[in-house]
Amino acid sequence: MANIPLIMFLIFIAITLGITYWASKRSAGASAYFAASRQIKGWQNGIAVAGDYMSAASFLGIAGIIAFQGYDGFLFSVGWLVAYLTVLLVIAEPLRNTGKYTMADVLAYRMKPRPVRAMASLSTLTVSTFYMIAQMVGAGALVKLLLGGYVTYNKAVIGVGVLMIVYVVFGGMLATTWVQIVKAVLLMAGTVLLSILVMAHFHFSFGEFFGAIAHVTYRDAKGATVVKDFLQPGLRYKPPYGPLDLISLGLALIFGTAGLPHILVRFYTVPDARTARHSVVWAMVLIGSFYIMTTFLGFGAATIVGPDFIKTHGGTNMSAPLLANALAGSIFFAFISAIAFATILAVVAGLTISATTSFSHDFWTNVIHNGVERKPGEEVTVARISAFVVGGVAIAIAIVLGPTANVAFLVALAFAVAASANLPVIVLSLFWRRFNTLGAVSGLGVGLLASIGLILISPSLMAIDPPTVTGTARHLIQAKAWFPLENPGILSIPLGFVGAILGTLMSHEPSSQHRFNELLVRSNTGLGAEKSTAA
């Protein structure tokens, strides 16, 4: 039976390669390649944003955390949706109105473009690469678990890496968009189906379902059988630092999502700011529905499959596939596994295109060559080449780290950098007249360093392991953590803002203040915004 997942994986790969072939004939020219000619419809972009955003960390990760730590896992779900209000109210429309391909277009608008773009590009590459490595290691471990016997970890990582390079190099943003749309539709379908099956198991009675959640039986670390109310808070976030960590996580989500480069570039693919707005609403409907349904996925796995069984059959990340297996057998297991695989591919493709766009548009053209393409099409060519480099580096790092590496912190790091470096600088350049180049550069620099520095000394990387833990699963620094929280946002976000404000006050740049009116008018009215182009 183990070959059914393989067949479903291959079907998905065939569909996405078909999309890539179709898109490759429509991706000539920079606007077509980087922004899908700005012709994606609002609802399409909304679905694609959802597909870009809901990573395996959500589908497998959150279901797993809820299955093991109950209610505290569900708190993740809440933050992942509410974060879109920041995108909707503050970021999406001004970004679409003033930028062209990247977040740095907005930052560099009234500043000296070269230093600002160089820093913004560094920050974009940092966020995208860290996030990508986390996804690749997850993908490798997942595929190995699901297709073990056929595919090893290394082959799985190489396979995922090669596919994402193919989508991005040949199909550009258009192929990436449609891969994300197909994935989002599959993910929603699988989640709805799984939720219905969970409720059917409890005879469609919420009373019975929640009754079971309130009495989950499992063995604790000492082997004693315990019964816990999984709706009760505090199973994961325990005193003394738990509550603070929870708030810090919330800050990183609420302010980080609006600074994630691979989400921001999606708003350049629609014709105008109004469509960008509608696409955020579409995305919120899908993302919200999905995260509400993690109730069924996570608590369903806790009650129907049970933490003990999951622990001995692949661990937390297998909660959702094992639930599918328990409810409807091996074919449904294969279907859910294929969805998890599709989820990873769509996210890494989005990360790759945002990283390559930033390298090519911000760094190559604008920083190195002063904003001039030396020959037509250079920007796209450079992007294609950098997709190979980014993909190759991600494959290599994922293989070196191996399947047991502790990589969950990389996702926290990506959000922390986005919230502490990118977001303060985007917000200040849109709303603070006095803001200037030194402020932008120091804001990005301080936010980036503070996030990385605090994660380095956090319990994610600093802890004393027992000798039984070996290799890359061991913590990097074998000592008691200096910073008690896993999520640095509560400290690094204010530091990012302070860096930006101090840098600004230490220098004078009248031209930046003069050009503020232009940015204000453009961002709020859409005057002169980039138009969609013929495909």
Residues at the contact surface with other proteins, assessed by CB under 8 A: 71, 74-75, 77-79, 81-82, 84-86, 88-90, 100, 108-109, 111-114, 207, 210-211, 213-214, 229, 231-234, 237, 242-244, 246-247, 249-250, 254, 274, 277-278, 280-281, 284-285, 288, 291-292, 365-366, 370-372, 510-511, 514-515, 517-518, 520-521, 524-528, 530
Nearer to other proteins (CB atom), residue 25 or residue 508: 508
Q: How far apart are CA 91 and CA 431, in angstroms?
A: 11
Least CB distance to other proteins at residue 524 (A): 6
- Neighbour count for residue 161 (Cβ, 10 Å): 25
Beta bridge partners of 477: 462
Would you say 330 or 525 has its CB closer to other proteins? 525
Long-range contacts, 13-20 (Cβ 8 Å, 24+):
13/163, 15/182, 16/163, 16/167, 16/175, 16/179, 16/182, 16/345, 17/166, 19/171, 19/175, 19/178, 19/179, 19/182, 20/166, 20/167, 20/170, 20/171, 20/175, 20/179
Query: In whole angstroms, how close is the CB of 302 to other proteins at the nearest point?
Result: 14
- State how far the Cα of 426 lies from the Cα of 100, in Å rounded to an integer: 15
Nearest distance from residue 85's CB to other proteins, in Å?
Answer: 5
Nearest CA to 295 among 57, 48, 63? 63
Take residue 56 and report the two structure tokens written for it.
Answer: 């395996």
Whether 344 and 58 have beta carbons less than 8 Å apart is answered as no
Choice between 129 and 487, CB closer to other proteins? 487
The number of residues making up the chain comes to 535
Q: How far is the CB of 148 from other proteins (least distance, A)?
A: 36
**Nearest partner of 387 among 352, 426, 427, judged by Cα:** 352
**Residue recorded with tokens 């301080």:** 446
Q: Could you tell me the smallest distance in angstroms from the CB atom of residue 69 to other proteins? A: 13
Nearest approach in angstroms of CB 395 to other proteins is 33
Nearer to other proteins, 73 or 314 (CB): 73
Sign of the C-alpha dihedral computed for residues 157, 350, 252 and 397 taken in this order: positive
**260 phi and psi angles, rounded to 5 deg:** -80, 120
Shortest approach of other proteins to residue 150 CB, angstroms? 40
Least distance to other proteins, CB of residue 317, Å: 23
Shortest distance, CB of residue 46 to other proteins, whole angstroms?
11
User: Residue 71 Cβ, how far from other proteins at the closest point, in Å?
Assistant: 6
Q: Is 112 left (phi over 0), alpha (psi -120 to 50) or beta?
A: beta
In this complex, which beta carbon is closest to other proteins, that of residue 270 or of residue 322? Answer: 270
Query: Which of 254, 334 has the CB closer to other proteins?
Result: 254
Beta carbon nearer to other proteins, 331 or 520: 520
The residue (of 157 and 246) whose beta carbon lies closer to other proteins is 246
Closest CA to 181 of 286, 79, 82: 286
One-letter amino acid identity for 190?
G
Query: Which residue lies nearer to other proteins by CB, 154 or 524?
Result: 524
Instruction: Name the 3-class secondary structure at 100.
Output: coil
Least distance (Å) from other proteins to the CB of residue 473? Answer: 29
User: Which neighbouring-strand residues pair with 226?
Assistant: 218
Nearer to other proteins, 212 or 498 (CB): 212
Strand partners, 218: 226
Minimum CB–partner distance for residue 300 and other proteins (Å): 15
Instruction: Tell the smallest beta-carbon distance from residue 130 to other proteins (Å).
Output: 24
Residue 513: name the closest of 412, 408, 418, 436 by CA.
Answer: 436
Is the Cα dihedral 289, 291, 295, 300 positive or negative? positive
Nearer to other proteins, 108 or 390 (CB): 108
Query: Nearer Cβ to other proteins, position 149 or 239?
Result: 239
For other proteins, give the closer residue by CB, 85 or 396: 85
Sign of CA dihedral 440, 445, 447, 448: positive
Work out the number of other CB atoms within 10 angstroms of the CB of residue 521. Answer: 14
Rounded-to-integer distance, Cα 160 and Cα 132, Å: 11
CA distance 144 to 147: 5
